[in-house]
Each structure stands twice: as C-alpha cells, then as structure tokens.
Chains A and B, each alone.
Chain A
Amino acid sequence: MDETLHNLLAPYKDKSEALIPILQHVQGELGYLSDEAMLAIAGTTGIPESRVYAVASFYAQFYFTRRGKNQTKVCSGTACHVKGAARILDTFERELGIACGTTSEDYEHTLETVACVGSCALAPVVVVNDEVHGQMESGRVGKIVAGLNTNGG
C-alpha cells in the first residue's frame, strides 16, 4: 500500500462502522477515490471491496476519477430552476467547452450541477471553487470563466 494511504488509514483499523467518514477523509486528501484507495480501505476495515464501492457510488459526494483544478457547480434547486438556472448552465457549457458532469482534458475544469446549495434567496446560484455567486446572469459567466483561466494559469 502507498505510504500516504497507509498513514491515512492507520486510525481506522477494523472500524467498519466509520466507512463514510473514512471515504470522506481519503477523498479529502487524495481528491478522488482510486481503485487502490478503495482496496486499501477494504483491507483496513474488513469490508468487502465490492461493498466499499457500493456505498461510495451511492453517494453523490464521491468521485472515482481525477477532477479538474477548478470546480464549477451550477445549483439546480427549485428556486434556481424557476429563475433560469438552465440557461446559466448552458452558458457555462459553451464558455468552458465541456458538458455538464465532465472534466476538461487538461484537468483545468470540472462542471456539474448540484441539487441545492441552500442559498435560494440568491437564486440563481453558482458555486465556483467554494465561492458562492448569487443572482447570476448568463452575461456574467464569461467574466467568471475568464477569471478562472487567468488565475488557473
């Protein structure tokens, strides 16, 4: 086992009840859940590896492939929907050149929707790298993307 993984998992020996916190911890450190990481979790906790994946793949929070450096999440909650979130998403897809739910080939951007970030009074809302942009208009998308591309280098 990779040493980073080994150290990460050391406190969880045989703690099968902590599976979700373990998955969160490992993903938090490694960015996503690789096959190697899931096998290591299975080995440490004694949970069959099929079940580790069964649990992880049930929850929207977990990823199994490498993600983009910049993560854009367009809220698709009800308030955002009735206030035109679909158009905002379309614009992001065009500006970033990637489809929703995918990562760009250079691993610069990941674009996805999120069920509801609970900032409904600011609808429509977009969360870019954990920063909440409220009362979005499609006209502002280009500027946000340009900002990411400059900062992202």
Chain B
Amino acid sequence: MIIETVLLSIILLPDTTTTESQQLDEVVVVSRELGAQRSVKGQVASIDEHLRELKSVNLVRRGSYAWEPVINNMQTERVSTSIDGMKIFYACTDKMDPVTSYVESSNLQSILLNSGLNGNPQATGNIGGSLDLKLRRAGFGSDRFRMGGDLGYESNGQQRVFGADAAVSTQGFYTNGGVSYRRADNYKEGGGREIQFSQFQKVNAYDNFGFRLAQHGSIEGTFIFDRATDVGYPALNMDVAKAEAFITSLAYRREWEDRALQSWETKVYYNHITHVMDDTHRPDVQIHMDMPGESWTAGLYSLLRAAWGRHFLTANYDLYDNRLFADMTMYPGGAAPMYMVTWPDVGTLNTGVALSDRISLSDARSLHLSGKWSWQHQRLNNQEGYNALSVFFPGMKRQYQQVTGRISASYQVSLAHSRYSVGAGWGSRAPTVTEAYGYYLNNTFDQYDYIGNPRLKNESAVELNGSYEWRTDGYALNLDASGFFFSDYIIGRFEPRLSAMTVAAEGVKVYANIDHATIANFSLTSAWDLFDWLKWSVRTGYSIGRDEEGEALPLIAPWVYGTVAEVQVGRFRGKAEWQGNARQHHYGSKYGESRSAGWAICNLQGSYSWSHVTLRAGVENLLDKRYTTYADWCDIPQKGRNIYINLSFEY
C-alpha cells in the first residue's frame, strides 16, 4: 500500500490530519517547514511542483500552468481530488483546469495521496488513487501572531512570485490568511527557442478561521478565492482568459479525550468555478470560438473517528450535488454563429458511506480494511444539449442512476529491519460527465472529436499491490508494485459512421467500455547514508498499460530513473539530481500517441536558512537540454535551463 503526502507549510501544527497521515500513503509538505518530503523550491513552488514530489504521481502538461495529476498512470477520470474532504470538479471540457490549479501552495499544509482503491473517506471513483489537499490552519493555541512572506524569481519565463500570510491564534480563536501573486511570461525550451502562449498569471487569497465553542467543540471555516488570467496553453489551440474559483466551507468539529469516540467533524461546503477559454490572441484561427464552462458543487460530509481496542475506525457520510455546464459558440466570418451545448448542464447528486478500520493484530502486524458505497443520480437539465445527444443515442433518458463501490484490504508486517505489505481491492466508478454526456469535445492529443455515451456501464477494477522495505543503519531499499485489472474500461472508440466537427479532426470517437485492460506499476528506491552529511539515492520505475487486444494504452510512463545526492552541512542543504526517462517502447499508437524519445536532465539546488529567513536557489535543466516527456501534451517541449532564487521569511 502506497500512501504519500507532500507537506507545504511552515506552520505545521498539532492538527489531527498530520498524525493520521503517517498511516496513509504519501504526503508532500507544502508549507515552509523543513524536512519531510517536499519540493526544493519551498512554498514558492507551485502546487504542480509539489505534486511532482509524489512518486506515484506524474503530471500531464499542456503548458506551464495547471498540470493534470496522473496517479498510477491514471488521469483525472480515475482519480479523486478533494480539498480538505470537499469535492470540487473542474469546469473545462478540455481539462485545462484540473482542480489542483485552483489552490496555491500558501493555502495548503500538505497534499495527501492515497494510492489505488484505498481512498480517503470522501473519495469516489478513485481507482487510480485519491488526492486530498489539506488546508493550512493556524489552529488553536499556537503562536499568538505569525507572519511570513515569499519572494521568488525564475530566469526562464521571468516568473515572479509574491506571497504574504499572517496568522493569529489564541485558545479560543484563530485565523490565518494570505495573498499571493504569480506571473510568468513565455518560457524557453532547451536551446533557447521561446514557446509561444506559455505565459500565465494567478492571484490567490485565502482565509481560514476557527472558534472554540466549548472545551471540545469548535467551528472552522475556509474561504479561498483563486483567479488565473491570461493563461497560455501552447499544446492546445486555445488559451484561457479567466479561470476563477470560489471555495468555501464551514465545519463543526468535536473532539473527545479518553473515549472510544475521538472526533466528529461535520462540514458543509460550496464551490464555484468559472472557466473561459480564449482564442483571440492566436494567429490563424479558422473559426473564432467562445467556450465557457461552469461548475458548482455544494456538499457536506460527516466524519467520525474512534479507537476501540485494537481498532482504529472511521465512518464517513458524504453528499454532494454538482452541476456542470459548458457550451460553445463558433463564429464563422459573416455567417450565422454555430452553437452547441458541450456539457448539458448535468446535475450529479452523489451520496455515500465510507468505513475504514485499522486493526493492530500484534505489535508487528496490522490489517487495514476500507470500503465505500455510493449512489449517484444524474440529470440532464439542458434541453438543447439533451436533444443534440439524442441524435446519437435515440431514446436516451433524461436521468441516470449509478451505484458504485470500493473495498480494499491490506496486511502489513513490520519487522526489525524490514516491512512488507500486501493488499487487494475492488472498486468501480461511474463514467464522468465528459465520458457520458460530453458533446464534440476535440482532443488535440489524438485529433479526434469525442462524444460521450450515456449508455456506458460502470468501469471496475481489481487491484493487487505489494511493497517491501529493507532498512538498516545507513541503507534503505523500497520495492513497490501495483496492478490494476480493469473490466469495462472506458476509452474513446473510433466511430467511422460519424463526421468530425472540428476542422482538421481525424474523425469522431465515442466513449465505450472495452472488455478489459491492465495497468501495472513497479518502482524501486535504494538509498544510502554515505556520511552524516551526504545521502545518495537511486530510483527507478516501470509501468505497463494494455487494452483488451494487448495494445499499449496511451499516457503510460516509460522506464523512469533518477539519482539524487543530498548534502546537509549546518544550515546549508544541497541537492544534485539527475533524472530521465528511457525511450518509450510501448506507446499507445492505437490511441494516437506518438513515441517519446529518451531524455535525461540534471538539476542543482541549494538552500540556506537563518533564523527567520530561508534562501533557496538552483538550476533546473543545467545543460539546457531540449526534451519532451511522454506526458507533454502534443509533445510541447519542457523548460530549458532555468535558474531560480527565492526567499522565504517568517516572523
């Protein structure tokens, strides 16, 4: 079982979330806190750069902003992303805005990754895994007043980052909030050629607060406003004029000491995303189009934690109602505009119950069981969109219902020098709104227009995983493997009968269930503590993805490798990294993927800390190599040499 966290904040507080995270998969620290797994750029790093630290995560890039997290080689459709348990859904039919793009590093304490079917309690549809973005909360009774700031500069693309935050905390009240601003111009690929339309700009403001109502009860709230403007997507035909999110929640939390019942948290939340694409700055636009999209989600969850004997139990009830609407208007010069509804105002009401139990069988052995059952009702609220889809699916219904579930078990043995675990699970997911009701969504990856299929069956998968860890003084070895065996795997299938809408598209694909597919991932990490001040590690990984005919699935990582030397002398930390991908042997040619070449780059990083100030500097892609990874949409090149420097202070 792989669980990872990325920590992000300085102000790491005695919050319940962090203690629990050790039992979960991976964590990345987003805050300014030192140590732990985190981006070397500290809080100045973007969320995407923090996510990159998670070993099960890859990122699909369509530009230099808003990368799409891929977990265990599975994209958004098979991944659940939540913000402190809140469900939030992207509003762009072209996936330009994964929900991780609507928060900033400063908003977060950490990012928690649960690999595979053992998702966080609010996760649904998480076959590949689930991400929960943990918000940063000052908490009660920490430092009375704190403030911090960040300044960052990157040479490639002239990225400027400014951030400031402050926190006030007493025994009865806390609030912490901040603002940040990022702006980048076009970046240059290795060799110095400028990548047009790769700029972006983002502002973010947030505030968290809490009131203690009684000794054990408190109310906590969240407010995040995030707005990206002038975002270029060099891999796509369009840019984004505005991507804006308003995220808010209010929670009541009750905690007990010395009782089986440990805590009970109930949260209500609402978020709204507006996404507006823009092609007015592009040359050679054949037909100008307006493509706005909106997403509204309101929901609640109620999470109970209890410890009883050898059992550590959680029970969660959640409910959310999401609405997705997107349309497209095309303006051929002089002629009548052409209008279509691309997401027919789909209302999704989803409710579910999740249970998990961690059982300590003995000091060395433990068993973790988790499961979730969800019921979902979908309704197409837009008549025009429904009528249009009815052309392709005569007699389709206006409302659909799905039941999905997941169950997983993992058994772990920890011995003096070794630890191993084996796990198994089964889970299903309902088709996404794009897969079920999307309408002529052009996919620039394979140059097909995609039409959703309201008659899709749920996709399901059996997961098997295992890990082994060997640790002695000065040496550690980690082996991880996971396999996902899908039934009714959902993927676009070419429909020669249909005519493409997008000029220059190859044709139309309609989402379909294929009988089975397999995705498997292996990784190995070996780390040596060579001296007190020097650590060295090597890492490698390999993945395969196959459809029912044994053909390669698209966007599956090739053989990856990397080695890192880390130095720590006093307050100086340094890191030299060499990483690369082998040439992609198995690529999804059947699905329009082209082979990506092998590459390797070298990065150097260093940081020095004074009492209140940390200075970080480094060079990425030291040799200014021009390269493209398998996950770079339409083979847009990665950044060339990039020198960065940033300054964080806290007081």
Q: Do A and B come from one complex?
A: no
Q: Which residues of A contact B (CB under 8 A)?
A: none
Residues of B at under 8 Å CB distance from A? none
